[in-house]
Chain A
């Protein structure tokens, strides 16, 4: 036996790595899952056009924003195992940067939103190097602190309108061909950001970087001993998880026509995003999508129901408790435990 063992180990020892990035990408293109994301994204984009239904567009837009928030937060919670309670700060700050550039400087909307995304990611990286040394509850508290600090700063920042925020005039939509057209363009852009968020989530999960992040999520100390550069990786995933929410913030608040501090940095939305992740299934690509759509439906139903209209958040809290206690894998985790063949199709 010892002979075969040593041969195997020796063979493993001489193995020389080499494979190019194009090989890596072509491998993904042959997988079914990325195509499911593309089909889903196109379907969401076209549904309200085909149905010629503006109210459907509005509810799908909200659902798409929820998917963006939940999917990117899942990179932190589901993959890296760090609960970020203040994730809404990305959305709000990106919104401010995007709206400010698009209105005061007349920057092209897409460019303005992208600058918001890059700015927020860069800030997140710097913050991340500081606060990601904290673990568990302390990290979660620090993320709330970041949100509240930026909330307070923006409330007192006059160029961004202070406590009243920034209002858009009708002229702001002229570059997009008027308000009617502008709303549709914003919708399509947000749906694209949603699709890209899901591809990002899939890409991270199936990459070497993602393997390191998943290892950190399982056991950070063990990951470090295995060679995962934990401080840098954590800061990078924190920065990445801020990018698309920030871009979406720029588009969303531009479309809304107003951005003000209390709406932009609302902790409630942060917590709702956590409920969506847990509802659908943390650590999966599809879970946050299912959770976001279900939550959007539920929220709509509760808001319009006479009995429950003031209890939306209470029910969200109860829902979160039930999931954490009884179905920690969420809906997708529950399904995949029973139907293993789903794993190939729903990552």
Chain B
């Protein structure tokens, strides 16, 4: 399997805090890679580095054969890397359809308005927002806004989708729906890198998992390997329940 994205020796410091330290990992074509770690481990910072919201102090990011290190987020988006935010950022005054159209128009395929409208409609349908396309984004529920984050990112027809805690704040039924949606996205050929705290979900969805702690890579492997890794158990010490659910969902 070839690597769609390579992160090589990434470093980023905020004042006295080394948020990301000598971090390297690959995301392979077609896989779902889970990125987990305790709170404050630097997961969201990694996403910010990958899609250009902040630049790394050193290191290199290769996406689909192109060096995208330090490029601004809108250029990274054009290369086919889309992101759904942990804290939802809907364009509140625009409709659901228009939100998705922004993704389609300015994403990888650089569509014109009419084509973007079609693509946006299809994607909204596929994530379960088909009957809300004309509603203002501000009027959606939390679950709806999470779906909109995904729909907007998908409308760009990306090669790689970054999902930042898209399950957080959802109820069990909504989580089930979202997991199905994520599986569907992967089947359509889009590679996924996801941060998630809902262990049951990430263990069942991921092909591989990278664990980070204090900005460093702690472990990497299949969900089962990760669940049995003593280093990981130590990092999550005090949260044995978390691992218990993880074990349960793997076996």
Name A residues whose Cβ lies closer than 8 Å to a Cβ of B: 1-13, 15, 17-19, 23-24, 27, 206-208, 211-212, 214-215, 217-219, 221-230, 283
A17 touches B112 (CB 8 A): yes
CB-CB < 8 A to A214: which residues of B?
91, 93-94, 98
Beyond A8-B126, A19-B112, whether A215 also contacts B184 by CB under 8 A is: no
Select which of B89, B91, B103, B123 is within 8 A of A227 by beta carbon.
B103
Q: Is B5 among interface residues, defined by CB-CB distance under 8 A?
A: no
Q: Is B188 among interface residues, defined by CB-CB distance under 8 A?
A: yes
Measured CB to CB, the nearest residue on chain B to A18 is B115
Chain B's interface size range is: 35 or more
Distance between A167 CB and nearest chain B CB, rounded to angstroms? 47
Distance between A25 CB and nearest chain B CB, rounded to angstroms? 13
Beyond A219-B89, A225-B77, whether A6 also contacts B94 by CB under 8 A is: no
Q: What is the CA–CA distance of A6 and B190 in the complex, to the nearest angstrom? A: 10
Q: What is the CA–CA distance of A228 and B183 in the complex, to the nearest angstrom? A: 28
Sample (17) of A-B pairs whose CB atoms are under 8 Å apart = A1-B180, A5-B126, A5-B181, A6-B183, A6-B187, A12-B119, A12-B188, A15-B115, A18-B115, A208-B116, A212-B102, A215-B94, A224-B73, A225-B74, A225-B83, A226-B152, A227-B156
Q: What is the CA–CA distance of A3 and B83 in the complex, to the nearest angstrom? A: 23
Q: What is the CA–CA distance of A153 and B235 in the complex, to the nearest angstrom? A: 64
Beyond A5-B184, A9-B126, A227-B107, whether A19 also contacts B115 by CB under 8 A is: yes
Q: What is the CA–CA distance of A230 and B77 in the complex, to the nearest angstrom? A: 12
Q: Chain B CB within 10 Å — which of A5, A15, A214, A224 has the most?
A: A5
Distance between A225 CB and nearest chain B CB, rounded to angstroms? 5
Beyond A215-B102, A219-B89, A225-B51, whether A10 also contacts B188 by CB under 8 A is: yes
B102 touches A225 (CB 8 A): no
Measured CB to CB, the nearest residue on chain A to B114 is A19
Q: What is the CA–CA distance of A286 and B225 in the complex, to the nearest angstrom? A: 62
CB-CB < 8 A to B93: which residues of A?
214, 217-218, 283
**A-B pairs with the 8 shortest C-beta distances?**
A5-B184, A227-B106, A227-B77, A8-B126, A17-B115, A6-B187, A9-B188, A218-B91
CB-CB < 8 A to A2: which residues of B?
180, 183-184, 187
Q: Is B219 among interface residues, defined by CB-CB distance under 8 A?
A: no
Q: What is the CA–CA distance of A15 and B92 in the complex, to the nearest angstrom? A: 27
Q: What is the CA–CA distance of A176 and B160 in the complex, to the nearest angstrom? A: 63
- The B contact surface, by secondary structure, is helix
Q: Is B208 among interface residues, defined by CB-CB distance under 8 A?
A: no
Select which of A18, A19, A212, A227 is within 8 A of B78 by beta carbon.
A227
B122 touches A8 (CB 8 A): yes
Q: What is the CA–CA distance of A11 and B105 in the complex, to the nearest angstrom? A: 17
Q: Is B118 among interface residues, defined by CB-CB distance under 8 A?
A: yes
Q: What is the CA–CA distance of A24 and B111 in the complex, to the nearest angstrom? A: 13
Q: What is the CA–CA distance of A223 and B112 in the complex, to the nearest angstrom? A: 17
A12 touches B157 (CB 8 A): yes
A5 touches B180 (CB 8 A): yes
Distance between A278 CB and nearest chain B CB, rounded to angstroms? 16
CB-CB < 8 A to A211: which residues of B?
98, 101-102, 105, 113
CB-CB < 8 A to A27: which residues of B?
114
Q: Is B53 among interface residues, defined by CB-CB distance under 8 A?
A: yes
CB-CB < 8 A to B156: which residues of A?
226-227
Q: What is the CA–CA distance of A170 and B160 in the complex, to the nearest angstrom? A: 68
Distance between B58 CB and nearest chain A CB, rounded to angstroms? 23
B74 touches A222 (CB 8 A): no
Beyond A9-B126, A10-B188, A13-B188, whether A225 also contacts B98 by CB under 8 A is: no
A207 touches B77 (CB 8 A): no
B112 touches A226 (CB 8 A): no
CB-CB < 8 A to A23: which residues of B?
114
Q: Is B40 among interface residues, defined by CB-CB distance under 8 A?
A: no
Q: Is B185 among interface residues, defined by CB-CB distance under 8 A?
A: yes
CB-CB < 8 A to B75: which residues of A?
229
CB-CB < 8 A to A206: which residues of B?
113
Q: What is the CA–CA distance of A8 and B125 in the complex, to the nearest angstrom? A: 8
- Which B residues from 159 to 204 make CB contacts under 8 A with A? 180-181, 183-185, 187-190
Measured CB to CB, the nearest residue on chain A to B130 is A8
A9 touches B89 (CB 8 A): no
A207 touches B122 (CB 8 A): no
CB-CB < 8 A to B115: which residues of A?
15, 17-19
Q: What is the CA–CA distance of A8 and B155 in the complex, to the nearest angstrom? A: 12
CB-CB < 8 A to A7: which residues of B?
188
A226 touches B103 (CB 8 A): yes
CB-CB < 8 A to B125: which residues of A?
8
